[in-house]
Structure 1
Amino acid sequence: MTERIDVLHVDDDPSVLDLTEAYLDRELASASVTSVTEPETGLERLDAESFDCVVSDYDMPGMDGLAFFETLRKDHPAIPFVLYTGKGSEEIASRALNAGVTGYFQKGGPEQLQRLATRVQQAVEEFRTRRAADRYSTVLEALGYPVYVVDETGTFDYVNEPFAELTGYDREEILGSKPDLIKDEEAVQKAEDRLGSILSSGDPDIQRFRVDIVPKEGDPIPCRDHMAVLPYEGEEFDGSVGILRDVSVEAARREELETKRRALDEAPVGITITDPSLPDNPMVYVNDEFVEMTGYDREEAVGVNCRFLQGPDTDEAAVAELRKSIDAEEPASVELLNYRRDGTPFWNRVSIAPIREAENDRVTGWVGFQEDITAFKEREGALRRQNERLDEFAGIVSHDLRNPLNVARGRVDLAREETGSDHLEAAVDALDRIESIVDHTLTLAREGETVGDPEPVDLAALAEDSWGTVDTDEASLEVELDGAALADPDRLRNLFENLFRNAIEHGSVDCDAVTVRIGGLEDGFSVADDGPGIPEEIRDDLFEPGESDSDGNTGFGLAIVKEIATAHGWDVSVTDSESGGARFEIRGIARPEAKPAE
């Protein structure tokens, strides 16, 4: 042993101390002996200094050697203690060994001193080995990783508690068994091949590889094995040591990331990711759809800012809106005229959103979604042009057709007054029908598809007011409705008027007077009458323009009702009333929010 050995020798005879120190210095070249004559002094030195071994006499005044040993091991339980006494007896030897001393020797000549030196050296080596092992075990346990040692025969020689917990076996079940207890045949062979690589001179001293551990119960656990060989000299291989790391969570995350990556790559819209930490916030990822949409391959797109898609007719206001959102770290969506690699323009709906760290909400990237809406914009333009032509046509109908219609009506009225001919009465009815068709056609053309800014409307009040604008003859109205609805009051009035006219015109066919009842529904209202009802065979087409079950009716009234309901986002349907008449139900009506009490 070349490492220094610090020995504390306690004996009340100074001459024995000097002789022993001289001999230990000669026999143990690395020994450093501290000699004291009193056990109390020895205890003080032990508290103040570090020693590898204590040698003590037995028969000393005030405290014998065994009492000294019992006292010091309370604070120093692991230090080797050799009782070296001139008063030897079987009784003292028995007491000493039963007490747990490391060695017992009687004082004597050179032969006994040689035995003492040899035992001191052995005791110190054992003490240091045990202390190092304890320290390593503490470190390994503190790491929390499963650790194993396999001897030269391929048998588990050591496993720690985390290893036992991972496999589900008790440590006693694992020790002495072969690795095939927790591995399948393929995994065992893989470990042996890796061990052979370590033992070969040209490969690394440590091998890292994936292995599935088969626990006592449950599914295999994916792990990463870090394997090395135990130190050895010559051809005497002593075994291997390894640390396992459970990578099941890592594998699950990797699989999740791979799934997300595939989803991004195969998404039906263009997806880009930019990195604001790099100069000019360049794209660091583009998916397949972006490549196909723009004509730029990944090598051309990755590493540059996405503004390269802009061109001479790109709207600067929309680009500025994107820049403003990026500066404010807020999501945004705009429509841009972009240009493909071959120079052809296309309309791009661009939506961007910040990518934030979960820990501190810091923006680490931006994700962008690009959707080619060229076909939609073209349809939108065509529809706008069509609506413009329709509006122009409606103006022509309103002006150029209504004027001659009014002239014809006036002339017929004069002729009827002068002649009283029944033929002229029929002509007046025909002109009235033409005027009604013109009015309803203009209504359908100019109503619009949506309601932009609805307001709270009192349903009962508006219904009663609408009743007053309709030619009701002898019909009557019963209102069992309260509450308000969010609606366009003018268009809702038009809806009520058309439903009332429909009830009166159809309900008065077989009776002198019809009763119209308005009732409330949970999400809307109903308008019912006690007339003859609507035949089943025409209900599916009832709301189509020109469809009617009455002679002389234009069939536009219910089409207007449907148009107004759809513009509000409501549903309209027809069924039988309790009296067998027609019942129209308007559902999906939004109610105004109640004002908080003051």
Structure 2
Amino acid sequence: MTERIDVLHVDDDPSVLDLAEAYLDRELAAVSVTSVTDPETGLERLEAASFDCVISDYDMPEMDGLAFFEALRVDHPHVPFVLYTGKGSEEIASRALNAGVTGYFQKGGPEQLQRLANRVEQAVEEHRTREIADRYSTVIDALGYPVYVVDETGTFTFVNEPFAELTGYDREEIVGNTPDLIKDAEAVAEAEDRLGTILSRDGPDVQRFRVDIDPKEGDPIPCRDHMAVLPYEGERFDGSVGILRDVSVEAARREELETKRRALDEAPVGITITDPSLSDNPMVYVNDEFVEMTGYDREDAVGINCRFLQGPDTDEAAVAELRDAIDAEEPASVELLNYRKDGTPFWNRVSVAPIREHDEDRVTGWVGFQEDITAFKDRETALRRQNERLDEFAGIVSHDLRNPLNVALGRVEMAREETGNEHLAAAADALDRIESIVDHTLTLAREGETVGDPEPVDLAELVDDSWGTVDTEGADLEIDLDGRVLADPDRLRNLFENLFRNSIEHGSVDDDVTIRVGDLEDGFYVADDGPGIPEGIRDDLFEPGQSGSEGNTGFGLAIVKEIVTAHGWEIAAVEPESDGARFEIRGTDRPVRPLVE
């Protein structure tokens, strides 16, 4: 032992103290002996300094050695204590050993002094080793990790309580058993191979590796093993020690992160992540769709700000809106004209959102979503042009066709009044039908598949209002509605008016029709007890010009279809439980289609 040993020696004979100090100084490599002649002074020295071992005589005038031992162990219960006495007897030896002294020797010549020196050195080494073990044991217990010790034969000689809890076995079931109790053959073989590398001349001191522990009950538990060998000298190997760490949560989290990473990589929209802690907030991640959309490889994109996608015709106002949102640490979505690597422009709907640190408000990153909406913008432009042409057409129909139509109708009426020719009555009816077709055509052309600002509408109230604007003749209305729907009230009133007219115009010749309007789980229905829908027109019921009634323009249900579609709903003619027709409008909880500008 090269570390210094501090010894307190208490004896009322100074000559014994001098001899023992000289001998200990010669036999031990590094020793410092403090000699006192009475136990009281010894206790004072123990209070003032730390000692690795105490040697004491037994027969002393003020206090005998065992009484001294009892006094010092109150404050120093673990310090080694050797009773070295000239008054030896079996009774004293028995009392000393029963009291718990570390050693008992009778005073004598060189042999006894040699035995005393050896026992002091041995006691101090054991004490220090025990302190180190206790210290590490305290640390291990505080960490709560499962710990095991396997001897040179591959048998468990120690496991702690966390190890037992992990495996589901009692400690008594594990100690004395071999690792194949909790591991399969492949895991046992890997552990042996890892141990072999530690024991090799150039091997590591510790091996860290994954292992699945098979508990007494349940599925295997993924763990990480930290293995080392017990200290040994020469060729003697005493066994290995290891600490296990349950990584099942870590493995599940890693699997979850891997799933999310794959989802990001394979998402059908471009995804980027930027790091505002770096200069100029550069991109630190781009997914496959971003590479495909822009033509820039990851090496081109990662590490720089995404403004490199902008070009000469990029709208500065949209860029400023995006920049202001980032400065305010708020999400935003804009449409930008961006440019691919080959220079071709494309419309990009860019949405950004801050990534905030868990449980804190600090922004640690930004996630961006890029969606190529070039095709949508092209369709939007084409639709705008189509609407412009429809407006032109509506103007032509309204002015250039309606005027001569009115002239013709007026002339026919005058001729019929002057001549009384009944053929002119049929011509007037035909002209009225043409005028009705013109009116409905203008309705479709001008209103299209758009709605105004939607608002909550009381269905029962609106149905009742709509009924009052229709020539109901002898028809009856039954309302079974409760609640509201988000809709354009004017367009929705038009929908009910056309459905009411449809039921009345196709109603039974002999009996007045009854119309019922009621709730569905996700919408409403309009039904009647008329003759129903003819098979010949069922498939094309909502096409313009289709009608099962002579003299009807066939535009009513086409307009209903347009209104339903504009609201984002769906309409279908279904088989009623009894006679008549039934129209079901569903999806009223879906968002309203936005206006096309």
The TM-score range, normalised by the shorter chain, is: 0.7 to 0.9
Match of 2:519 in 1: 521
Distance 2:389 2:76 in 1: 105
How far has the Cα of 1:102 moved from its partner? Answer: 2.5
Match of 1:146 in 2: 146
Match of 1:406 in 2: 406
Match of 1:555 in 2: 554
Match of 1:371 in 2: 371
**Kindly tell me: are residues 212 and 498 of structure 1, through their superposed partners in 2, closer, same or farther at Cα, counting changes over 3 Å?**
closer
**Kindly tell me: are residues 378 and 578 of structure 1, through their superposed partners in 2, closer, same or farther at Cα, counting changes over 3 Å?**
closer
Match of 2:340 in 1: 340
Match of 2:134 in 1: 134
Q: Residues 106-138 of structure 1: CA distance to partner in whole angstroms, max 9, x if unpaired?
A: 334454444433433333333333333333333
**Kindly tell me: are residues 170 and 267 of structure 1, through their superposed partners in 2, closer, same or farther at Cα, counting changes over 3 Å?**
same
Q: Residues 79-106 of structure 1: CA distance to partner in whole angstroms, max 9, x if unpaired?
A: 2222233333322222222222223333
Distance 1:462 1:144 in 2: 70
Match of 2:273 in 1: 273
Letter paired with 2:551:
G
Contact 1:141 1:161 in 2 (8 A): no
Distance 2:524 2:208 in 1: 74
Distance 2:345 2:430 in 1: 54
Letter paired with 2:57:
D
Distance 1:464 1:291 in 2: 57
Q: Residues 262-306 of structure 1: CA distance to partner in whole angstroms, max 9, x if unpaired?
A: 222222222222222222222222222222222222222222222
Q: Which runs of 5+ in 2 are unaligned?
A: 590-597
**Kindly tell me: are residues 293 and 525 of structure 1, through their superposed partners in 2, closer, same or farther at Cα, counting changes over 3 Å?**
closer
Contact 2:82 2:101 in 1 (8 A): yes
Question: Superposition RMSD on alpha carbons, in Å?
Answer: 3.4
Contact 2:8 2:34 in 1 (8 A): yes
Q: Which runs of 5+ in 1 are unaligned?
A: 591-598
Letter paired with 1:368:
G
Contact 2:480 2:519 in 1 (8 A): no
Structure 2 counterparts to residues 585-596 of structure 1, below 5 A: none
Contact 1:517 1:528 in 2 (8 A): yes
Distance 2:556 2:229 in 1: 93
Contact 1:350 1:368 in 2 (8 A): yes
SS at match of 1:507: coil
Distance 2:263 2:524 in 1: 46
Contact 2:518 2:526 in 1 (8 A): no
Q: Residues 513-559 of structure 1: CA distance to partner in whole angstroms, max 9, x if unpaired?
A: x3655655377766666655544664554333222222111121232
Contact 2:500 2:515 in 1 (8 A): no
**Aligned positions, number:** 589
**Kindly tell me: are residues 526 and 140 of structure 1, through their superposed partners in 2, closer, same or farther at Cα, counting changes over 3 Å?**
closer
More displaced, 214-223 or 292-301? Answer: 214-223
Q: Residues 185-243 of structure 1: CA distance to partner in whole angstroms, max 9, x if unpaired?
A: 33333333333333444444333333333334333333333334444444444444433
Contact 1:270 1:287 in 2 (8 A): yes
SS at match of 1:222: strand
Match of 2:44 in 1: 44
| 2:428 matches 1:425 | no
Match of 1:122 in 2: 122
- Give aligned-pair identity as a percent: 85
**Kindly tell me: are residues 361 and 477 of structure 1, through their superposed partners in 2, closer, same or farther at Cα, counting changes over 3 Å?**
closer
How far has the Cα of 1:510 moved from its partner? Answer: 2.5
**Kindly tell me: are residues 464 and 67 of structure 1, through their superposed partners in 2, closer, same or farther at Cα, counting changes over 3 Å?**
closer
More displaced, 235-244 or 371-380? Answer: 235-244
SS at match of 1:271: strand
How far has the Cα of 1:396 moved from its partner? Answer: 1.0
Distance 1:143 1:41 in 2: 42
Q: Residues 38-74 of structure 1: CA distance to partner in whole angstroms, max 9, x if unpaired?
A: 3333333323322222222333345332233233323
SS at match of 2:506: helix
Distance 1:488 1:29 in 2: 101
SS at match of 2:217: coil
Match of 2:88 in 1: 88
**Kindly tell me: are residues 298 and 124 of structure 1, through their superposed partners in 2, closer, same or farther at Cα, counting changes over 3 Å?**
closer
**Kindly tell me: are residues 364 and 557 of structure 1, through their superposed partners in 2, closer, same or farther at Cα, counting changes over 3 Å?**
same
Structure 2 counterparts to residues 57-72 of structure 1, below 5 A: 57-72=57-72
Distance 2:23 2:359 in 1: 67
TM-score, scaled relative to structure 1: 0.87
